[in-house]
Amino acid sequence: MTVIYRKIVNPGLPAARQDGMALAVSLVLLVAMTIVGIATMSGTRLNEQITSNTQQKAISFEAAESSINTVWNVTALLNTIKELPAGVYNDPEPVVPAGLSAQLSADFDQVNARGVSVDITADVSIQFCGETSLPTGSSLSADESKLQMAGALFDVNGVAEIAGSKARSDHLQRGYVIRPKTGRTGSCVTPGV
């Protein structure tokens, strides 16, 4: 029995033109898959950077808020008035509580999941902004004696930065404490006004 092997060819193309076509198609597909792979990897890297930046911004935001919270109490605010220089009765500069910035920075430092230390610098300052009148008709605004009460306005500014990144938060909180009227003025500027 005789077996004859025949080469099956596309009747539309001569046999000589079909050689190597599979190689060319394979190379084109390989290049296309490589481009898609590189684009996917670069998109993943961009998403990791976005996530990292968002996390660092959240950490600096919380550190700035926490630094404000450490001094946001009546005692700390009234002690600020005591620390104002006697020579500068009106428009005093902000007061930075002694040693608090170093303590805050040490408290906020972190170690990430890879064991790398993250250095967070935090500062807080309190600025006396002057006095405001109390609402008319309240028992504290009545002129029953020589002692009159006023609201002592304060701006507490908390700033936090993460070393080695551009993450920085600068927060300002304004409030007042009711105390005897002194007539002092302040020079606080409301941000954005």
What's the token pair of residue 140? 């504290």
Please provide the average confidence, as pLDDT, over all residues in the chain.
80
Taking alpha carbons only, the member of 133, 22, 152, 147 closest to residue 76 is 152
pTM (two decimals): 0.68
Tell me what pLDDT residue 179 has: 83
Tell me what pLDDT residue 107 has: 84
Q: Mean pLDDT throughout 121-125?
A: 89
What's the token pair of residue 95? 């007061």
How many angstroms separate the CA atoms of 107 and 101, rounded?
Answer: 10
| CA within 13 Å, CB half, 78 | 10
Q: With a cut of 70, say whether residue 38 has pLDDT above it.
A: yes
Query: Strand (E) positions, 42-167?
Result: 110-111, 117-118, 120-132, 149-162
Q: With a cut of 70, say whether residue 144 has pLDDT above it.
A: no
What spatial distance separates the first Cα and last Cα of the chain, rounded to whole Å?
A: 103
How many angstroms separate the CA atoms of 100 and 70, rounded?
Answer: 9
What's the token pair of residue 35? 């481009």
How many angstroms separate the CA atoms of 10 and 134, rounded?
Answer: 98
Tell me what pLDDT residue 55 has: 87
Tell me what pLDDT residue 101 has: 79
How many angstroms separate the CA atoms of 159 and 103, rounded?
Answer: 14
Between 52-56, 138-142, 153-157, the lowest mean confidence (pLDDT) is in 138-142
Query: Element (H or E) spanning 42, and its range?
Result: helix 21-71
